């Protein structure tokens, strides 16, 4: 059996927020993730939420933390999954599919010098190497239901400075119904990916120490 077919498939929709990103001072940040998987023996989709925050942050920091937190949570007790990781962050998708390989070949430096957030990149790479991951980009604030919900989790976490403390039962369905009742025009939730269409990216290099 192939390394793809041997593992359960899980979908993660992640987003980040930093209130006042780029301004001087302490800008509160948040990250959110919606996790979806099929209940064993059925077609029922189970959803779980995760969110976290930090007082002084940036969008890029929180994007990296969304990767580490969600993948580490799924990797508890050594569990390994096929994961479709969807985000509107080019920083994450381009970084994980392209940049990190060049950085590793150059001894974890960029052509222009030091790598920003290198410690967080190391954490995210280590978390991702425990799984088989396909990185997928979607346009943000464009009506993608799960991405819009992850954004809701992230912005709420940034504003309230709260943590979920791990994966918790999801509020996606209630949020979706309430948003549509208010006239939101986002699309129906994306269908769960068939494992036959799962296309993992290349294994990531060993992270820097």
102-146 tens-digit pLDDT: 999 999 999 888 999 999 999 999 999 999 999 999 999 899 999
Looking at the predicted structure, is the pLDDT value of residue 1 above 50? no
What is the distance between the alpha carbons of residues 44 and 130, in angstroms, rounded to a whole number? 26
* Predicted local distance difference test score (pLDDT) of residue 12: 99
Residue 195: band (very low, low, confident or very high) from pLDDT cuts 50, 70, 90: confident
The 8-class DSSP code of residue 205 comes to P
The count of other CB atoms within 10 Å of the CB of residue 154 is: 27
Partners of residue 52 on adjacent β-strands: 31
Residue 7: band (very low, low, confident or very high) from pLDDT cuts 50, 70, 90: confident
Above pLDDT 70, what percent of the chain? Answer: 95
Kindly state the average pLDDT of the residues 53-60.
Answer: 96
- Domains of the chain in start order, with CATH, are 9-186 (3.30.420.10)
């Amino acid at each position: 059996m192939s390394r793809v077919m041997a593992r359960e498939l899980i979908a993660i929709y992640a987003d980040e927020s930093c209130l006042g990103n780029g301004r001087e001072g302490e800008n509160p940040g948040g990250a959110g993730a919606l996790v979806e998987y099929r209940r064993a023996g059925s077609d029922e989709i189970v959803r779980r939420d995760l969110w976290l925050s930090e007082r002084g942050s940036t969008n890029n920091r929180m994007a990296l933390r969304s990767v580490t937190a969600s993948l580490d949570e799924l990797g508890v007790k050594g569990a390994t999954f096929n994961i479709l990781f969807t985000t509107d962050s080019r920083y994450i998708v381009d970084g994980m599919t392209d940049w990190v390989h060049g950085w590793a070949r150059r001894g974890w430096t960029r052509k222009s010098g030091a790598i920003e957030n290198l410690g967080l990149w190391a954490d995210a790479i280590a978390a991702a190497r425990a799984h088989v991951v396909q990185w997928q980009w979607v346009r943000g604030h464009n009506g993608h239901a799960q991405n819009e919900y992850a954004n809701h989790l992230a912005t709420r976490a940034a504003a309230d400075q709260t943590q979920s403390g791990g994966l918790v039962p999801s509020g996606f369905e209630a949020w979706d119904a309430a948003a549509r009742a208010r006239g939101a025009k986002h699309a129906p939730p994306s269908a769960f990916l068939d494992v036959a269409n799962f296309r993992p990216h290349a294994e990531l290099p060993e992270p820097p120490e």
